[in-house]
Structure 1
Amino acid sequence: MKLPLSTGTIDVRLPDCEVCVAAPPGGEPVDVRAAAEAALESPHGPPLESRVDAGDAVAVVVTDLTRAVPDDVLLDVLLERLGAIGVPREDVTVVIGLGLHRPMTDAEIESMLGPHADLAINHDPAPEAVIEVGTVGEAGGDCPVEIGRPVADADVVLSTGVVEPHQYAGFSGGAKTVVVGAGSESLIRYTHGPEMLSREGVRLGRIDDNPFRETLDRAGDLAGVDFCLNLTHGPQGVLGVAAGDHRAVVADLAAVARDALAVPLDPDREFDAAVCGVGAPKDANLYQATRAATYVALGDRNPLRPGGRLVIPALLPEGAGEGTGERRFYDRLRGAADADDLYEELRAGYEPGAQRAFVVARVLRDHDVYVTNSRAAAVVEECLMSATDAVGDAVAPGSDVLVVPDALNTLLVER
C-alpha cells in the first residue's frame, strides 16, 4: 500500500500482519474557486457587501504553511469581491495567522499567495504588537483577548481557513484563524492549558458543548471577526466551501466533514498497531506530525489495545520545529525522564506550545510511538519516541494492524 510522506508517497508492505485500512467514505470534490464564489453569493448571515464600505481598511487573516489551504484562490475571490464593493487592493492587509509558529519566509509567502504575496505580513505575537479587545473565561472573564495591531486597527476583519478535525476545538476554522492565528500567548495559554484540555467536551470532532470551541467563538466576537470564507477537505480534495458568520460556517462545514471522514470500527476489535499517515505540510516537524498519533489515540474511538503502538511515517525536515511553540514542545519532551513523570509535571501547568507535549505524554503513557522515514531520528529519540528507517521495522510480525492513510482527516468512531 502507499502512504504519504512529505509531498510524495512511500510503499509499505506488512506481509506477516493482518491489516485493516481505515478509509473514510470521502465525498465529491468541488472546484474551489467556483464553490467559493457560490458561498459568497449565499452566505450565512448578511452578505459581504453589507459588512464592508468603500474606503474601509480591511484585514484578511489567512492560515500559515502548517495548513493545507489554497489561500491564493480564496484570497483571489475575496479581493475580487472587495474590489467590486469599492475597496482597492491598497486598502487590504493580508495577515498570516502564525499563532506561535515561526514566521514564513518571503519565498514561502510567494508560493502560498502568488500574485497577492505583496499584501502579506507575518503576524507578530509579541506583547508590544498586540492590543487587548476584551476578556473571556469563567465568571465574567479572566483571560485577555489580544489581537495583532494590523487586525485590531482594521475597520473590517475577514478570514480564510479550513474546517478540519482538531484535537481540542473539535474542528478548526471560523474565529480560530483570527483569535489564535493573529492573537497572543494569553488566549493560547488559557485555551491550551491543562484545566481546559481536561474538561468534558473538549475532544476531536465535537463542536457542540465544547468549552474550547465556545471560548474561541466568544473571543472571535470580541475581535470583531466580520466574515469568514472557509473550506473543508478530505482525501479526494476540497469537499465544500462556506462563507459568512463564523459559528455558522464552522457548523456547516463540520457536518460535511463528518459525513466524509467518519470510519466506524468494530467495538470488540483492538489492534496491536496503528500506522498513521500524515504527509505535507504536517510532517515538516515533529510538533505537527505527532498530531497523527494523538488524533488516532485520543479521538472518539481509540483502536489500540493497551500497550499497542502508533507508527508515523514523517520526513521532519525541520526537526522538532522552529517556532516558539515547537521549541517549548521539544524542550519539555527531551528533558523528561519518562511519559508518566512528564504528564504529572505538565498537569500543574505549562507555557503555550507545550500543550502538544502534554497530549503526547498522555498517549505515551499507554502506547509507544514510532516515527519512521525521518531526517531527524536523533530528535525523535530525544523526545521519548522511537525512530526506525521504515514502517515495517516498527511493526512486529504477526500484528493486527490498522492503517489510517490520512490520520488527520479520519474520524474513528464506534460502529
Structure 2
Amino acid sequence: MKEFLLPYGKETLKADIEEEHLAGVLLSELHSYKAPKSGAELVQDALEHPIGSPRLCDIAVGKKKIVVISSDHTRPVPSHIIMPLLLAEIRKGNPDAEITILISTGLHRGTKKEELESKFGKEITDKETIVVHDCDDKDNMVYIGKLPSGGNIILNRLAVEADLLVAEGFIEPHFFAGFSGGRKSVLPGVASRETVMYNHNSAFIADPHARTGVIEGNPIHNDMLYAARAARLDFIINVVIDPKHDPIFAVAGDCDLAHRVGREFLASKCQVDAVPADIVISTNGGYPLDQNMYQSVKGMTAAEATVKEGGVIIMLSKADDGHGGKSFHETFRDEKDLNRMMQTFLDRKPEETIIDQWQSQIFARLLLKATVIFVSSCDGQLVEDLHMVPAHSIEEAMEKAKAIVKKEDYQVTVIPDGVSVIVKE
C-alpha cells in the first residue's frame, strides 16, 4: 500500500493506493528542490541583478508617480517578503516618490482589508497607499489602443498614467496562458472587463497552443505581452514558490526577458510525462487555490492530460467558498448537454464572450473526456449542478470511481499538486 498526504484547504487528506493499481505519481521537482538562499536573499539578489533592464533604483530616479501592481487574495504570492524589498529598492533611488500599490484583481472580487494585512503585513497595509482594481469602474479606465487580436486595450488609469509601472508576482504553470506572472499583471490584472473577456474568447481558448506550459504560438499570451508593453510595464519582480509558498527562485527586470528566465527554470523542475490511467487523483495545491470550484478547474486540467478517455478524475478541493462564479455555476446548472454547450461557446464572437466562459469551456472540454468526482465541503446538489459526482472523502470517491470504470485491473495516477505540474501528453 502506498500512502499519499494530499493538500486539501489548510489540511491534508490521506490516500492509500494499492501498489498493483498505482500507475505513477506526477510530482513537480519543486517539492524537493532546495534553494541555495532564503527567499528574501533570492529576491534581493534578483533586484540587484535585473535581466534586460537597469536596476529599479536607477529607473526610479526623477519619477514622481510610481505604481506597483500586486497580485490579489487568490494568489499565494509571498508579498510579505517581496514588497518591503521592492519598496526599499524604489526609495533607494527616489526617497520622495509617490508610490501606489495597485491590487490586480482582474475580474475577481475586491480584496478585503484583512486579506491585504495577511498578504503584506500590517505595517505596509497601514502606511502605504493601496488601491484595489475594479474592472467595472469605467471612470478609472483608459483606452490606449488595440490588441493584436483586435480587442480594445482598456486599463486602470493609475497604471496608464504612472511615470513608472512595476509589478510583483509569481510564476506557475497556467492552464491557458502557459504560465502566470510577468505580463499577466497588466492583462488581465488591471484591465477592464471588456478587454479581459475579449482576450479570453472561445477561439483562443480552443487553440491547441493555449495550454499549460505553452508560450510559442499562444494567442492569449501574445495579446497579454502586447498589452504589458503598451502599458509601459517597466520592471517586474517575479518568484517561483515551493509548496509552502516560499520563494525558491527569483527574477527581476524586463517584463518579458526576466519572465522567460523564470519560466525556463520552472519548466525544468515541473514538466512531467503523462502516465495514462483509468483513475487520476489531483488537487489544486490546497489553500488559497482551492477556495472554490471555479479555480479548481486548473488542477483538473493536469488530470485531463493523463486520464484515459472515459476515465475518472478525482479532484480534491475543499472549496469553502462554493462555486466561485455565478455565471460559471448557472451555465452548467441550466445546460445538461455538454456538446451543445461547447458549440454555443465556439459560435460566439470574441466581443460576445460572456463572464466565466473560458473556464466553462475548459471545464466542459475535460468533462467530455472523463467523469469528475469532486471531494469537497460543498453541498452535493451544487456539485451535481456542475455535472460532477459529489464525495466527502477519498475513500468514498475511490469506491465510486471503481464502480464507474468497472475494471478489476484499474490503474491510478496521483498528482499531489495539479497546479504545479506541466503534464506533457
TM-score using structure 2 length: 0.89
Alignment match, 2:405: none
Q: Report the AA paired with residue 5 of structure 1.
A: Y
| Deviation for aligned residue 1:163 | 1.2
Q: Report the AA paired with residue 257 of structure 1.
A: L
| Deviation for aligned residue 1:375 | 3.1
For the 8 Å contact 1:230–1:242, the answer to whether it is kept is yes
Q: How does 1:249-398 map to 2 (within 5 A)?
A: 249-265=258-274, 270-278=276-284, 279-297=286-304, 302-321=305-324, 326-349=325-348, 350-395=353-398, 396-397=401-402, 398=408
For the 8 Å contact 2:63–2:164, the answer to whether it is kept is no
Residue among 172, 182, 186 paired with 2:190: 182
Residues in 1 aligned to 2:418 and 2:208: alpha-carbon distance in whole angstroms: 23
Q: How does 1:146-185 map to 2 (within 5 A)?
A: 146-185=154-193
Residues in 2 aligned to 1:362 and 1:240: alpha-carbon distance in whole angstroms: 33
Unaligned stretches of 5+ residues in structure 1: none
Residue among 5, 10, 15 paired with 1:12: 15
Where 1:284 maps in the other structure, the secondary structure is coil
For the 8 Å contact 1:159–1:177, the answer to whether it is kept is yes
1:124-174 alpha-carbon deviations (Å, 9 max, x no partner): 111232111221124xxx211111122222211110111110111111111
Q: 1:200 to 1:14 in 2, by over 3 A?
A: closer
Residue among 221, 231, 243 paired with 2:252: 243
For the 8 Å contact 2:202–2:357, the answer to whether it is kept is no
| Deviation for aligned residue 1:340 | 1.6
For the 8 Å contact 1:61–1:97, the answer to whether it is kept is yes
1:239-288 alpha-carbon deviations (Å, 9 max, x no partner): 3100010111221011111111122245xxx3011100211111101100
Q: How does 1:90-129 map to 2 (within 5 A)?
A: 91-114=98-121, 115-118=123-126, 119-126=129-136, 127-129=138-140
For the 8 Å contact 2:80–2:120, the answer to whether it is kept is yes
Residues in 2 aligned to 1:238 and 1:53: alpha-carbon distance in whole angstroms: 28
Q: Report the AA paired with residue 215 of structure 1.
A: D
Residues 1:219 and 2:227 aligned together: yes
Where 1:242 maps in the other structure, the secondary structure is strand
Alignment match, 2:239: 231
Q: 1:21 to 1:194 in 2, by over 3 A?
A: same
Give the stretch that moved more between structures: 383-392 or 45-54: 45-54
Residues in 2 aligned to 1:60 and 1:286: alpha-carbon distance in whole angstroms: 30
| Deviation for aligned residue 1:4 | 0.3
Among the aligned pairs, what percent are the same residue? 24
Alignment match, 1:409: 420
Where 1:310 maps in the other structure, the secondary structure is strand
For the 8 Å contact 2:281–2:303, the answer to whether it is kept is no
Residues in 2 aligned to 1:258 and 1:376: alpha-carbon distance in whole angstroms: 37
For the 8 Å contact 1:313–1:374, the answer to whether it is kept is no
| Deviation for aligned residue 1:53 | 2.3
| Deviation for aligned residue 1:60 | 0.7
1:30-61 alpha-carbon deviations (Å, 9 max, x no partner): 42211111011110122213322245111111
Q: Report the AA paired with residue 300 of structure 2.
A: A
Q: Report the AA paired with residue 338 of structure 1.
A: D
| Deviation for aligned residue 1:200 | 4.1
Q: 1:133 to 1:333 in 2, by over 3 A?
A: same
Q: Report the AA paired with residue 319 of structure 2.
A: L
Where 1:82 maps in the other structure, the secondary structure is helix
For the 8 Å contact 1:109–1:120, the answer to whether it is kept is no
Number of residue-to-residue matches in the alignment: 399
Q: 1:376 to 1:43 in 2, by over 3 A?
A: farther
Residues in 2 aligned to 1:200 and 1:280: alpha-carbon distance in whole angstroms: 30
For the 8 Å contact 1:61–1:96, the answer to whether it is kept is yes
Where 1:175 maps in the other structure, the secondary structure is helix
Residue among 63, 67, 83 paired with 1:59: 67
TM-score using structure 1 length: 0.91
Unaligned stretches of 5+ residues in structure 2: 403-407
Residues 1:400 and 2:411 aligned together: yes
| Deviation for aligned residue 1:5 | 0.6
